[in-house]
């Protein structure tokens, strides 16, 4: 029989029992819609994490002090060789693929100023830090190379500090005491929001690393710095830049050929990949839960197809008597099952879109509809139809024509 | 021996239904020959074997012994698919209950055998369908659904469906069993007209008055043919309809 006629016959039988058809399709509809919504939510979370990671600076390379081996025993990063300002200077002079370089000295401190006091993070960095992080100022200006060399007591503050200490006044130009050392606020950072791991990225004070190292007592008395941040010339040259930095660092630390690095060079892509993997697992989990309902929908189709075959035994007998082969009957019922599941899939896609849109409106979750996933779940619905429709269709095709004709 | 002179030739065919311990011999060594252009009535009480015979002749069932040649084809060597093709090409079925597909127009019902046909050389299926409907006088009603047609019209649709593939033989199983007397005679008039045009017909019936419209009557009892006679005073259904002379009590079994 021709496809056109087969599909016509399938539609005729589907339209005949509207209520039953709808209830049968419901399983597939819910399944497909659930897959689409769940994947959209999962992908949304994924995208959110990616955005936050790239908001840390896209072609950022970070050098951490590595763990060091002493007589076969690995020691913690702080126990081994530290990064020094000499390393920073060597990178600044020798790294051809580095656009900007900054050391990072971190410390926590109590600050007093404006309307009260506040406990915050104090970061010591170079004048190129904002360029490395792609982080604009909302007011004032950043400190300069002169400030760094002169160890000037100037700083820029994040929005959280502004909110807590300078709610009613312009913070630029104000004085601030960090561990009793007076600092002048020369700029305010633009709001960055929550970080990928839930931390407040705006609760910080940034000052020249030299000032933090030498003027703030209590911060490491010698030149220990926690990280070196480097902005590579371009995203495409990340790997070359990383290799270049590694060789400069090995030379600076006089590491012999064949020995392990005593530092770690990592770029955002590595971190992003890890985060991506985590959120991928989440998406997979959500999708597989939703797929179960799709499977249950398939069983519903099988159930109703078996009923349909029994109901239409006489019709099958007539068709066989006038020359339908077993294969013709098989294909007829298979197409009916597939039309049923694909129609359900189509409605499911529409409802999935609608539900995703509602989720977007009602909650602050991000949702991303991936076209490939929509196509995939639609295709999966069709596959479910073929899989669960095959047994009933096979049963119909194997009927004995005489018995089928006699069946009333 | 399987020359074209016989549309149907059976050689000692038997059929045994084996349901575990009980064996029922439904047909016993039947030899039957039917030539093109015949119009044969098969009669017999229920359980006489006539339905089994019709199923075998219609390639719906196969004999357990003996040989069956249909239009020169050795039919009991065929598999399921080949039997389906034979039913499609060589045989037209007409049933007591019409057996039309509901929610399917007369046109689509008649077209159905063509859709299952695997002969690419067939011409335009729509034209063939219209021709078949015209032959039974239903050209104006081809787009009606079965439930919009009278019993006689439904049976005519079934006859058109049986004819559409130009079969070697038309098998009718109690074709007038569900119809009133006048309509029954109308259907017999249609059959007689088709037979005059050269169609070979085999009817199963238990009504002698219906059998009298045929040319030959074969009577079954206990799985054997007990009588095989030409009809002496053959009736003309067209003439009967014209005169309105038919048994007042309907076409019942003769005492």
Which residues neighbour A152 within 8 Å (Cβ) at sequence distance 6 or greater?
Answer: A143, A146, A208, A211
Query: What distance in Å separates the CA atoms of residue A161 and residue A167, rounded to the nearest whole number?
Result: 9
Query: What distance in Å separates the CA atoms of residue B255 and residue B247, rounded to the nearest whole number?
Result: 13
Contact at CB, B116 and A326, closer than 8 angstroms: no
pLDDT category at B122 given cuts 50, 70, 90 is: low
> What confidence score (pLDDT) does residue B254 get?
47
Which residue on chain B is closest to A318 by alpha carbon?
Answer: B99
Across chain B, what does the average pLDDT equal? Answer: 89
Helices and strands per DSSP (H, E), number in chain A: 13, 12
What DSSP designation does A67 have? P
> What confidence score (pLDDT) does residue B255 get?
42
The size of the A-B interface in CB pairs under 8 A is 59
pLDDT category at B226 given cuts 50, 70, 90 is: very high
Q: Using CB atoms, which residue from B61, B81, B113 is nearest to A322? A: B113
Q: In chain B, what residues touch A317 (CB-CB under 8 Å)?
A: 99
Contact at CB, B88 and A322, closer than 8 angstroms: yes
Contact B143, B107 (CB under 8 A): yes
> B1 pLDDT exceeds 50?
no
Contact at CB, B84 and A326, closer than 8 angstroms: yes
Q: How far is B168 from chain A (nearest CA, A)?
A: 14
> Within a 10 A sphere around the Cβ of A407, how many other Cβ atoms?
16
Contact A207, A189 (CB under 8 A): no
Q: How far is B227 from chain A (nearest CA, A)?
A: 27
Contact A298, A388 (CB under 8 A): yes
Query: What distance in Å separates the CA atoms of residue A82 and residue B231, rounded to the nearest whole number?
Result: 119
> What confidence score (pLDDT) does residue A81 get?
66
Which residues neighbour B59 within 8 Å (Cβ) at sequence distance 6 or greater?
Answer: B70, B75, B78, B83, B86, B87, B90, B91
| Tokens (6 digits) for B116 | 């299952």
Contact B98, B154 (CB under 8 A): yes
Contact A394, A57 (CB under 8 A): no
* Closest to A245 (Cα-Cα) out of A101, A85, A80, A68: A101
Summarize pLDDT for B88-108 with one digit per residue, the tens. 999 999 999 899 998 889 999
Q: How far is B157 from chain A (nearest CA, A)?
A: 14
* Closest to B109 (Cα-Cα) out of B85, B87, B89, B133: B133
Which backbone phi and psi does B58 adopt, to 5 degrees? -85, 5
Q: How far is A26 from chain B (nearest CA, A)?
A: 26
> What confidence score (pLDDT) does residue A273 get?
73
Q: Using CB atoms, which residue from A5, A327, A402 is nearest to B115? A: A5
> What confidence score (pLDDT) does residue A10 get?
83
3-class DSSP assignment, residue A278: helix
ipTM of this predicted complex?
0.91
Query: What distance in Å separates the CA atoms of residue B88 and residue A319, rounded to the nearest whole number?
Result: 10
Q: Using CB atoms, which residue from A1, A319, A323 is nearest to B85? A: A323
Those residues of chain A that have pLDDT short of 50 are none
Query: What distance in Å separates the CA atoms of residue A95 and residue A241, rounded to the nearest whole number?
Result: 8
Summarize pLDDT for A318-346 with one digit per residue, the tens. 999 999 999 999 999 999 999 999 999 99
Q: In chain B, what residues touch A326 (CB-CB under 8 Å)?
A: 80-81, 84
User: Residues B11, B17, B18, CA angle at the centre, nearest 5°?
Assistant: 125
Contact at CB, A322 and B81, closer than 8 angstroms: no
Q: In chain B, what residues touch A319 (CB-CB under 8 Å)?
A: 112, 116
């Amino acid at each position: 029989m021709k496809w056109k006629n087969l599909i016509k016959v399938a539609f005729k039988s589907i339209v005949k029992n509207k209520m039953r058809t709808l209830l049968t399709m419901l399983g597939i509809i819910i399944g497909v819609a659930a897959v689409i919504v769940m994947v959209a939510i999962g992908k949304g979370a994924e995208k959110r994490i990616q955005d936050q990671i790239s908001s840390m600076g896209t072609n950022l390379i970070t050098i951490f002090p590595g763990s060091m081996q002493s007589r076969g025993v690995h020691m913690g990063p702080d126990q081994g060789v530290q990064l020094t300002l000499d390393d920073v200077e060597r990178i600044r002079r020798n790294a051809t693929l580095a656009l900007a370089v900054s050391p990072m000295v971190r410390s926590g401190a109590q600050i007093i100023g404006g309307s009260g006091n506040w406990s915050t993070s104090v970061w010591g960095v170079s004048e190129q830090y904002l360029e490395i992080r792609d982080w604009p100022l909302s007011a004032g200006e950043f400190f300069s190379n002169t400030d760094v060399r002169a160890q000037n007591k100037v700083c820029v503050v994040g929005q959280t500090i502004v909110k807590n200490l300078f709610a009613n006044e312009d913070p630029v130009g104000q004085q601030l005491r960090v561990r009793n050392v007076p600092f002048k606020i020369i700029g305010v950072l633009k709001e960055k929001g929550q970080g990928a791991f839930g931390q407040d990225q705006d609760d910080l004070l940034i000052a020249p690393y030299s000032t933090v190292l030498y003027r703030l007592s209590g911060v490491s008395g010698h030149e220990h710095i926690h990280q070196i941040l480097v902005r590579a010339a371009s995203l495409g040259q990340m790997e070359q830049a990383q290799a270049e930095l590694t060789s400069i660092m090995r030379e600076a630390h006089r590491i012999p050929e064949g020995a392990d690095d005593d530092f770690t060079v990592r770029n955002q892509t590595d971190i992003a990949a890890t985060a991506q993997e985590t959120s991928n697992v989440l998406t997979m989990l959500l999708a597989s839960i939703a797929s179960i309902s799709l499977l249950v929908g398939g069983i519903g189709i099988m159930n109703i197809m078996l009923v349909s075959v029994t109901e239409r035994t006489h019709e099958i007998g007539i068709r066989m008597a006038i020359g339908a082969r077993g294969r013709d009957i098989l294909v007829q019922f298979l197409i009916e099952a597939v039309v049923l599941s694909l129609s359900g899939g189509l409605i499911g896609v529409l409802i999935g879109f609608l539900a995703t849109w509602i989720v977007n409106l009602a909650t602050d979750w991000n949702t991303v509809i991936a076209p490939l996933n929509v196509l995939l779940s639609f295709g999966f619905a069709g596959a479910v139809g073929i899989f669960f429709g095959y047994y009933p269709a096979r049963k119909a095709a194997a009927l004995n024509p005489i018995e089928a004709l006699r069946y009333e | 021996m399987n020359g074209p002179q016989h549309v149907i030739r059976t050689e000692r065919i038997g059929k045994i239904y084996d349901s575990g311990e009980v064996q029922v011999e439904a047909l016993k060594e039947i030899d039957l020959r039917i030539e093109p252009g015949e119009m044969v009535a098969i009669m017999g009480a229920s359980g006489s074997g006539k339905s089994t015979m019709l199923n075998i002749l219609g390639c719906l069932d196969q004999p357990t012994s003996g040989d069956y040649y249909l239009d020169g084809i050795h039919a009991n060597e065929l598999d399921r698919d080949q039997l389906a093709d034979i039913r499609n090409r060589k045989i037209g079925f007409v049933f007591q209950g019409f057996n039309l597909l509901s929610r399917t127009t007369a046109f689509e019902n008649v077209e159905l055998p063509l859709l299952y046909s695997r002969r690419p050389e067939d011409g335009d299926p729509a034209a063939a369908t219209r021709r078949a409907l015209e032959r039974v006088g239903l050209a104006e009603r081809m787009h009606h659904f079965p439930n919009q047609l009278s019993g006689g019209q439904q049976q005519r649709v079934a006859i058109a469906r049986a004819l559409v593939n130009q079969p070697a033989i038309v098998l009718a199983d109690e074709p007038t069993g569900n119809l009133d007397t006048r309509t029954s005679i109308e259907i017999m008039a249609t059959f007689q007209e088709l037979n005059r045009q050269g169609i070979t017909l085999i009817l199963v019936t238990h009504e002698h008055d219906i059998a009298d419209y045929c040319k030959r009557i074969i009577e079954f009892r206990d799985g054997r043919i007990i009588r095989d006679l030409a009809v002496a005073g053959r009736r003309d259904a067209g003439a009967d309809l014209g005169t309105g002379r038919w048994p007042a009590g309907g076409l019942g079994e003769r005492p």
